[in-house]
Amino acid sequence: MPANDADAILDATEELVRTVMERNALTSDDMVSCIFTATDDLDAEFPAVAARRLGLGGVPLLCTRELAVPGSMPRVVRLLLHCYAEPETEAAHVYLREAVGLRRDLEGAQ
């Protein structure tokens, strides 16, 4: 996230939600709920507003704070999406921009 700015938060969150939906072949009908976390340095806008802008009006959304762990990556929005899926379906995890460094163990998450 380049800055604590409403447009930056909304644009990055929209990109995250859209990418998760595309890589997992999800529609809003597949979604049960979404939880967004944001680091303490992001407070200019609720990340869930971006999901609403994408048409997820019927999906319950929640925003909360990420733990403020010393030395953790700044300006990060995370998404935990609960959805209906076939049991054998493997989730495609998504890490964008600098966040790819958070889970280098997940091959293909970038």
Mean pLDDT in residue range 35-59: 96
For the chain, what are the domain ranges? Answer: 6-102
0.85 exceeded by pTM: yes
DSSP of 19-86, one letter per residue? HHHHHTT--GGGEEEEEEEE-TT--SS-THHHHHHTT-TTS-EEEEEPP--TTPPSS-EEEEEEE---
- Per CATH, which fold does 6-102 belong to? 60s Ribosomal Protein L30; Chain: A; (3.30.1330)
Taking 90 as the threshold, does the pLDDT of residue 89 lie above it?
no
Out of 3-12, 26-35, 81-90, pick the least confident. 81-90
